[in-house]
């Protein structure tokens, strides 16, 4: 066997040797992420909803006053400093936006 053929055979054996580990790891990781998103679906309203511990409208109003923005205005610099999708969500629809974000 030529040395280049030997390297490809070694690589093929190496890839075949870890197939079970790869499948178990990826499925476990997918399960962990699924549980995390399911938990966030139920806890987001209590933590960040309109009646939550730190309501998103209050937080976004603080950010707008910090960056000296008007109520509907969004500047690129403020988005890059605090990257969140809630810059684009009206204050009255935060609970709906939380459900949509946690489901995607």
Give mean pLDDT, residues 37-62. 87
Alpha-helical runs (H) found in the chain: 3-17, 19-48, 56-66, 76-81, 94-103
pLDDT average, residue stretch 44-62: 87
Angle at 22 between CA 20 and CA 17, to 5 degrees: 55
d(CA 47, CA 26): 30
Confidence of residue 24 (pLDDT cuts 50, 70, 90): very high
pTM to 2 decimal places: 0.61
The fraction of the chain above a pLDDT of 70, given in percent, is: 79
């Amino acid at each position: 066997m030529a040395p280049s053929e030997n390297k490809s055979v070694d690589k093929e054996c190496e890839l075949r040797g870890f197939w079970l580990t790869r499948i178990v790891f990826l499925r476990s990781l997918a399960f962990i992420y699924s549980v995390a998103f399911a938990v966030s679906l139920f806890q987001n309203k209590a933590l960040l909803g309109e009646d939550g511990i730190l309501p998103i409208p209050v937080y976004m109003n603080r950010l707008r006053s910090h960056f000296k923005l008007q109520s509907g205005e969004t500047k690129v610099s403020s988005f890059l400093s605090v990257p969140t999708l809630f810059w684009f969500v009206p204050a009255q629809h935060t609970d709906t936006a939380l459900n949509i974000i946690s489901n995607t």
